[in-house]
Amino acid sequence: MQKTRSLIAVVGTEMQGIEQKRILSGIVSQAQQEKADTAVISNIFNPLEPELGDCCENRIFDLLLSADPAALIVLSESFVNPVLRSNIRSLLKQRQDIPILLVGAELPEFGFPCISTSDANDLAEITLHLIEEHGCRDIALLTGPLSEEVSRARVAGYRTALASHGIPFDEKKVYEGDFWYNSGEQLANAFLSGEKPMPEALVCANDYMAFGVLDAFECAGVNICDRMLLTGYEFIPERNLHTPLLTTYQRNRAELGRKAVQILMQKLRGETPDAFSPPHGRLIHGVTCACSVSRIRQHEELVTARLTKQYADWSLKSDMERMLTECRDMDSFSQAMGKFMFLMHGVRDILLCLFEDWHRPEPVSETLLCRSVNPWADQTIFRLKKTDLAGLTGRTGNPCAYFWLPVCFGERLFGYCVLRYDEPDSIDDTCRSWIKAVANGLEFLRLKSDVHYLLKCRVLSGAYDSMTGMFSREGLSNACNLMRNTNGSGGIAALLLRCVTDNGAVYSAEDAKPAVETLLAAAKGFQQFQGGLSGRVSEREFVLLMPSDRIEPEIMQTAAEAELLSVLPIDRFLCVSGMFSSELLPETLFRSLTEAADCAESRLAGCTARPYFTVFSEVRTAVYREPNNPRSLTQNAAALGFHRDYFNRKYKECFGLSFHQDCIRSRILYAVHLLMHTALTVSEAAEQCGYTESKYFIRQFSAVTGVPPKAFRMKAACLSESGN
């Protein structure tokens, strides 16, 4: 899309923070007035530990190298992580081609001009209010660590106001805190206990320390308004959660943002920027300085607090994360995201921009695949280069604000969510859980397509297979050793099930979906046998072990084949069985079974090359899918255009059984299933399988299984006993 408007980039951390939001409101408002779009580049968690300065989500700041922005604003005070701050400085050194302005805190090592509000002027205004409006002369100050410049600046403003009215500065009335609640609590308790003299008024150099003072007085049952005046600084919205209502001071951060845009736009036009003067803030009256409280102002704060709580509750109770983790493709995923767009207050559109190889083990692409998740917007997928910011901005008729937020899981960066706001609004804390849910959902979606993960992962215990819940190879070996020790000299009846895919083709990683479905179905069938030891010993093999004095291998194999046919087509598995000495090591037993399965699979693979194998395989699948449906050799042969004798000969070459013998076998295996899982009599089971004469059924059953139906039911009963 052709670039039609200027683009101002804003970079910072945790843009949902209250101070950043206030500056951004001014930036976006002025940018829109200047007919410019705003691109906000931010992380959302911003770990403070230096060793995490290079964490995955901070790769979002590589977008600073985009050639699209005409100017750049850095919210410098948000970069408190020293490693990240150093990385940002290195990136900014590569951007000498555009004007850059720091806002909020001067960082001399960056080498760029900085504008900010004046802490000294603000504290002077607060102190002057107490002197001039309330006649106070005994005023104390609780500031932050004096080792920090910001704390010293606030002391300087307080001192200047005192001097302007001839009030001597007393160092004993300046208390050093840490900008947090506990500082205020400790000082308040010292006042209440008489350890320190209580002043007429106390100025706290931020609201959190003032909240600590309020809470301590409330806990002591003392009305602070009867003892002294109290003011805070910075206007933290949670003042409505403390009583009495705190008088505080709001820095004019919105005006600071507006001035930043004005300066940069003047530079872009080749003009000399106007001389900068820090914007004045304003007192927000509360009860703690005996001023008249603005009911309208308090109502606005409560409305904002209620709205914030409402969105937080919606986010907490939302079903978004579950729905995203259940998605099976990107279409359903983007639809689920769109369904929960309402959780992001004020957002007009959300674009999911993922690297085109985001799902691969080691993504390297620099190209993004982007789509809107807004159900009412054009959701056509389009491609963009990673640093092509202008490809997303300027897509509407009016200038907007766009927030680039990283979507990552662990150390894997999937891409970005780009949020569009039409008004001077910005993200809030809800975005943390929203983006986290998207990242978790994408990781689930990626792993659903990662067949190596699905087939090889293990639970915390190496004894169990995480996909099926059965014994792993290691767990089954240990259980087999226990069986050998308790079974004495008796042998072990063993059965191996090997899963195959269509037409006997060996499983491959490229055939992920049918392979996984086959494995899960096979596991479901195998888990019906609770009387022995069963486990998954390789990616596509299961083994069942039982003491030889309880069942013969042939009976076990027939029962297993009958059970598996209820969940799998006949061409999706093969079984081999054998009797083994209890002195044989488990690994040797597994290897013997595997070799027998290899031979069987080789024979099957050889048959697949025969003429008409695919046609005959479809016929055979139908035979086993509906075993009680009578099948006619003549009719099946004619349907395929074959003579019945030719059809029967070729069928036997493929499967080792004539068509008639295979039909009998399918019915007998169905009968086995009925005898094992129902209370039907032999006659009733015969009737269910299409036999009209019980004696004929018994004769055919004995020929296939080696034992009559009643004997088979008794022998196979141990397979349904609990004891795994």
Tell me, yes or no, whether 409 lies in a domain. Answer: no
- What is the signed CA dihedral for 68, 71, 75, 81, rounded to 10 degrees? 50
Residues 651 and 523 in one domain: no
Residues 505 and 575 in one domain: yes
Tell me, yes or no, whether 598 lies in a domain. Answer: yes
Residues 604 and 634 in one domain: no
Query: What's the pLDDT score for residue 680?
Result: 92
**pLDDT tens digit sequence for 198-213:** 999 999 999 999 999 9
Residue 420's alpha-carbon distances to 14, 20, 349, 417, 622, in angstroms, are 17, 17, 5, 10, 56
Tell me, yes or no, whether 319 lies in a domain. Answer: no
Nearest alpha-carbon partner for 63 in 397, 403, 432: 403
Least confident of 101-110, 243-252, 361-370: 361-370
C-alpha to C-alpha distance for 611 and 640, rounded to whole angstroms: 13
**pLDDT tens digit sequence for 687-707:** 999 898 999 999 999 999 999
Determine which helix (DSSP H) or strand (DSSP E) holds 489, and give its type and residue range: none
Q: What is the domain range of residue 168?
A: 119-250+285-306
What is the number of other CB atoms lying within 10 angstroms of the CB of residue 482?
A: 11
> Taking the CA of residue 475 as centre, how many other CA atoms within 13 Å lie in the half-sphere pointing to its CB?
23
Question: Is residue 65 a contact partner of residue 95, using CB atoms and an 8 Å limit?
Answer: yes
Q: Tell me the H-state helices in 457-552.
A: 473-486, 512-526
Quick one: average pLDDT of 576-590? Answer: 90
Query: What's the pLDDT score for residue 510?
Result: 47
Tell me, yes or no, whether 265 lies in a domain. Answer: no
C-alpha to C-alpha distance for 700 and 708, rounded to whole angstroms: 9
Residues 144 and 216 in one domain: yes
Residues 519 and 561 in one domain: yes
Query: What's the pLDDT score for residue 707?
Result: 92
C-alpha to C-alpha distance for 155 and 161, rounded to whole angstroms: 10
Phi, psi (degrees; rounded to nearest 5) at 538:
-155, -175
Residues 125 and 175 in one domain: yes
Residues 470 and 600 in one domain: yes
* CATH value at residue 568: 3.30.70.270
Query: What's the pLDDT score for residue 306?
Result: 85
Residues 6+ apart with CB under 8 A from 671: 685, 686, 688, 689, 697, 701, 709
Residue type, 177: G
The residue among 568, 590, 608 that closes a domain is 608
Query: What's the pLDDT score for residue 449?
Result: 66
**pLDDT tens digit sequence for 604-632:** 888 877 878 888 888 998 999 888 887 88
Top pLDDT among 497 and 514 is at 497
The residue among 585, 608, 631 that closes a domain is 608
Residues 604 and 618 in one domain: no
pLDDT at 428 over 90: no
**pLDDT tens digit sequence for 43-58:** 988 878 888 888 889 9
pLDDT at 80 over 70: yes
Tell me, yes or no, whether 702 lies in a domain. Answer: yes
Residues 150 and 297 in one domain: yes
Residue given tokens 């001014």 in the structure block: 26
Q: How confident is the model at residue 515 (pLDDT cuts 50, 70, 90)?
A: low
* CATH value at residue 137: 3.40.50.2300
Query: What's the pLDDT score for residue 611?
Result: 79
C-alpha to C-alpha distance for 181 and 187, rounded to whole angstroms: 10
**pLDDT tens digit sequence for 314-365:** 888 889 999 999 888 889 999 999 999 998 888 999 999 999 888 877 778 8
C-alpha to C-alpha distance for 338 and 10, rounded to whole angstroms: 26
Q: What is the largest CA-CA distance in the chain?
A: 122
Q: How confident is the model at residue 16 (pLDDT cuts 50, 70, 90)?
A: confident
pLDDT at 504 over 50: no
Question: Is residue 557 a contact partner of residue 564, using CB atoms and an 8 Å limit?
Answer: no
Phi, psi (degrees; rounded to nearest 5) at 94:
-85, 5
- What is the signed CA dihedral for 516, 519, 525, 526, rounded to 10 degrees? -150
C-alpha to C-alpha distance for 57 and 415, rounded to whole angstroms: 10
Query: What's the pLDDT score for residue 200?
Result: 96
pLDDT at 544 over 60: yes
C-alpha to C-alpha distance for 4 and 570, rounded to whole angstroms: 64
Nearest alpha-carbon partner for 720 in 563, 567, 511: 563
Top pLDDT among 310 and 175 is at 175
Average pLDDT, the chain: 88
C-alpha to C-alpha distance for 636 and 612, rounded to whole angstroms: 14
* CATH value at residue 626: 1.10.10.60
> Taking the CA of residue 284 as centre, how many other CA atoms within 13 Å lie in the half-sphere pointing to its CB?
23
**pLDDT tens digit sequence for 263-316:** 999 999 999 999 999 999 999 999 998 887 777 777 788 888 888 888 888 888
C-alpha to C-alpha distance for 593 and 560, rounded to whole angstroms: 15
Tell me, yes or no, whether 325 lies in a domain. Answer: no
pLDDT at 3 over 80: no
C-alpha to C-alpha distance for 703 and 695, rounded to whole angstroms: 12
Residues 593 and 619 in one domain: no
pLDDT at 724 over 50: no
Quick one: average pLDDT of 385-398? Answer: 88
Residues 576 and 684 in one domain: no
Tell me, yes or no, whether 669 lies in a domain. Answer: yes
Q: How confident is the model at residue 1 (pLDDT cuts 50, 70, 90)?
A: very low
Tell me, yes or no, whether 237 lies in a domain. Answer: yes
Query: What's the pLDDT score for residue 653?
Result: 87
Query: What's the pLDDT score for residue 717?
Result: 83
Residues 571 and 649 in one domain: no
pLDDT at 257 over 80: yes
CA 403 from chain centre, in angstroms, equals 20
The residue among 608, 629, 657 that closes a domain is 608
Question: Is residue 120 a contact partner of residue 156, using CB atoms and an 8 Å limit?
Answer: yes
Q: How many domains does the chain have?
A: 3
